């Protein structure tokens, strides 16, 4: 009997055949959560059984918001997504991945400028913890030039950034300005 063509859509995903759930850690500073971050979160939640968003506590980027505030921003903007967990990362990202049962690290790639750093990071993480694979998602085209640092810079100079960051984050920006920071 000739074999029937099986569409890739008919092949069951591992999670649906009772194997280990696929868990990814999406680490970052998220200091000024943008619609670019949220796009990656939503796409990651569709790809994996569980997405753990890891907020780096010790960011070298001189953050505007505490890790708790950044976690709260993500929490407010992802209400209704059932398979998301938000954690704080203190030390090594790969260790946080293993501690939370994640087999994958999810990162976003925007322009070529992201590539060199992300490539080095992925290779180093693989050296440290070979069982954890880094997965890259290309940015959605509308967010290709969107970064937290750029948004903070233009906001400081008086630009309207409501197209780039969700309302709870915009309100946090405004509170920060009202406090004279």
d(CA 29, CA 63): 8
CA distances from 177 to 131, 156, 158, 162, 174 (A): 44, 9, 11, 15, 5
Q: Answer yes or no: 19 catalytic.
A: no
d(CA 116, CA 110): 12
13 versus 111: smaller Cβ distance to ligand ADP: 111
Nearest-approach distance from CB 86 to ligand ADP, in angstroms: 13
29 versus 50: smaller Cβ distance to ligand ADP: 29
Nearest-approach distance from CB 95 to ligand ADP, in angstroms: 16
Beta bridge partners of 104: 24, 133
Residue position matching structure tokens 């197209």: 163
36 versus 166: smaller Cβ distance to ligand ADP: 36
What is the CA 36 to chain-centroid distance, rounded?
9
Footprint on this chain of ligand ADP (rule: CB under 6 A)? 28-30, 34, 36-37, 40, 61, 107-108, 110, 114, 139, 143, 146-148
In terms of Cβ atoms closer than 10 Å to its own Cβ (0-12, 13-18, 19+), residue 149 is: exposed
d(CA 39, CA 156): 24
29 versus 125: smaller Cβ distance to ligand ADP: 29
Nearest-approach distance from CB 4 to ligand ADP, in angstroms: 39
Q: Answer yes or no: 61 catalytic.
A: yes
Which residue out of 95, 110, 126, 176 is catalytically annotated? 110
Which residue out of 61, 163, 175, 177 is catalytically annotated? 61
Nearest-approach distance from CB 164 to ligand ADP, in angstroms: 9
> Which residues have a catalytic role annotated?
37, 61, 110, 148
């Amino acid at each position: 009997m000739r074999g029937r063509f099986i569409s890739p859509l008919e092949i069951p995903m591992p999670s649906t055949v009772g194997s280990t759930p696929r868990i990814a850690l999406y680490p970052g500073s998220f200091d000024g959560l943008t619609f670019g971050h949220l796009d990656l979160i939503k796409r990651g939640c569709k790809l994996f059984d569980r997405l753990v968003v890891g907020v780096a506590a010790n960011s070298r980027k001189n953050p505007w918001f505490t890790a708790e505030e950044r976690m709260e921003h993500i929490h407010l903007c992802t209400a209704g997504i059932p398979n998301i967990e938000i954690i704080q990362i203190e030390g090594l990202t790969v260790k946080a991945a293993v501690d939370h049962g994640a087999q994958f690290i999810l990162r976003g790639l925007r322009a070529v400028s992201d590539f060199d750093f992300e490539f080095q990071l992925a290779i180093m993480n693989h050296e440290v913890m070979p069982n954890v694979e880094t997965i890259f998602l290309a940015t959605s085209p509308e967010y290709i030039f969107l970064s937290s640092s750029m948004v903070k810079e233009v906001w400081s100079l008086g630009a309207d950034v409501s197209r780039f960051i969700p309302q709870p984050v915009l309100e946090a920006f405004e509170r920060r300005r009202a406090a004279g920071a």
